[in-house]
Amino acid sequence: HVQLVESGGGSVQTGGSHRLSCQVSDSEFSDGAYCLAWFRQHPGKERQAVATIITRGGWTEYADSVKGRFTISHDSAKNTLYLQMNNLKLEDTAVYYCASRRGWTCPSVRVTVRADFSDWGQGTQVTVS
């Protein structure tokens, strides 16, 4: 069982930068590969994938809405997932979630759904104004 805890939510200005963190831990102490992801959810909308990363290969994928502005990364030593957000826009306001699934592949950001990921953080609010 993987546990994830997000941090770094808060209020930021349009055009500004912000970084989210997600501490990842596995109660089974697995040393296998993971697909880690950031999702976000606007009020009244379905949760949508923002970015994914494979921990062992570093392969990443981004949603079109954040491509060129956001960067997903993973620090293997700290087992921490990050989302660096630059040039923030009003539409970036959402609750952001980190998620994980064991394996060497990630589902496509364009088609992935919540059920593709077995473990989730509780979410952290990012408000851009």
On average, the pLDDT of the chain sits at 94
Confidence (pLDDT) at 120: 97
Q: How far apart are CA 82 and CA 90, in angstroms?
A: 21
Q: Which class for 98: exposed (0-12), middle (13-18), buried (19 or more C-beta within 10 A)?
A: buried
Confidence (pLDDT) at 58: 86
Q: How far apart are CA 41 and CA 23, in angstroms?
A: 20
Confidence of residue 69 (pLDDT cuts 50, 70, 90): very high
C-beta of residue 54 within 8 angstroms of C-beta of residue 104: yes
Confidence (pLDDT) at 1: 81
C-beta of residue 95 within 8 angstroms of C-beta of residue 40: yes
| Cα 1–chain centre separation | 18
The 10 Å Cβ neighbour count of residue 10 is 11
pLDDT tens by residue, 4-46: 999 999 999 999 999 999 999 987 766 789 999 999 999 899 9
Confidence (pLDDT) at 29: 62
Query: Which segments of the chain are extended strands (E)?
Result: 2-7, 10-12, 18-26, 34-41, 48-54, 60-62, 70-75, 80-85, 94-102, 119-120, 124-128
Question: Helix, strand or coil for residue 104?
Answer: coil
Mean pLDDT throughout 96-119? 95
Residue 103 confidence (pLDDT) above 70? yes
Residue 66 sits at the vertex; the CA angle it makes with 61 and 68, to the nearest 5 degrees, is 80
